[in-house]
Amino acid sequence: MTLRGLRLATQFLTRVPVASVDNYSHEEFSRSSAWFPVVGLGIGVLVGSVVLVCSHRSSALAAVLGLTAWVWITGALHLDGLADLTDALAASHRDPRRFLTVLADPHVGTFGVVSIVLALMLKGVALAELPAPLFAFPLVPAWARLGPLAWSKWLVPLKPGHGERFAARLHGGWVALWVVLLMVASGMLAPVLCVAPLVIFAWGAWLHWRLEGTTGDCLGAGVEIVEIVLLLALAIRGPP
């Protein structure tokens, strides 16, 4: 892990202005994914700060502004994956051969739009219900960005792309290390988040059962699913 790798991971996952990393290889991109949970923590700190500052006036306003900041920081990267996957699943319900064709279509269909709206609604409601202080909140996007590392090491890529490149040079030890670190932090700040490995496993198992592999869009959709589940769990149970 190098600072250049952190810049590359930040450049890929966010709109945060960092010194651009150009002329990187597939191997370097794969190794940079070890920084993904760190980038997730950074996203959580920024979004949590917005929610905390605005919550003194209105929890609803804080949730809306926090969610807006969340979408802006990430560039809706994973929401796009969720929409593409939803459209592809809907279109291939009767003809599985259409899945990859629809997945590659840049246009968003009705099912994709509905999935984005539902995801934003669930996140917004959960943000409004988060108990103060928000120390545990950054762990939610951190856990979610650990998911692609695990899924790409576990599942077979269905087509060339980021889903294939993540696993190319990433040592499995990084996944194990991040699981341990995030479990310790979750146990200290919000034990309910210790369910995260089960959520990550469940999404991977579903992809294995339904698609027998993964793509970059499936990884992005998984990030959104993990964030929603953990955010709702944190809003319902709160810190210890």
Return the pLDDT at 167: 63
pLDDT per residue over 116-174, tens digit each? 999 999 999 999 998 877 899 999 999 999 999 999 888 888 876 655 566 666 777 88
> pTM (2 decimals)?
0.92
Closest CA to 236 of 136, 130, 137, 140: 130
Q: Which of 154, 132, 133, 126 is nearest to 222 (CA)?
A: 154
Q: Are 33 and 172 in contact (CB under 8 A)?
A: no
pLDDT digits (tens, 9 = 90+) for 76-119: 999 999 999 998 888 877 667 777 777 777 778 888 999 999 99
For residue 165, the model assigns a pLDDT of 64
Residues 6+ apart with CB under 8 A from 184: none
pLDDT at position 223: 97
How far apart CA 69 and CA 163 sit, in angstroms, is 26
Give the Cα separation of 235 and 97 in Å (integer): 40
Q: Write the CB contacts of 45 (distance below 8 Å, at least 6 apart in sequence).
A: 138
**pLDDT single digits (tens) 45-58:** 999 999 999 988 88
- pLDDT, mean over the chain: 88
Distance of CA 110 to the CA centre of its chain: 22
Instruction: Give the CA angle between residues 113, 114, 116 to the nearest 5°.
Output: 65
User: Per-residue pLDDT tens for 191-207?
Assistant: 999 999 999 999 999 99
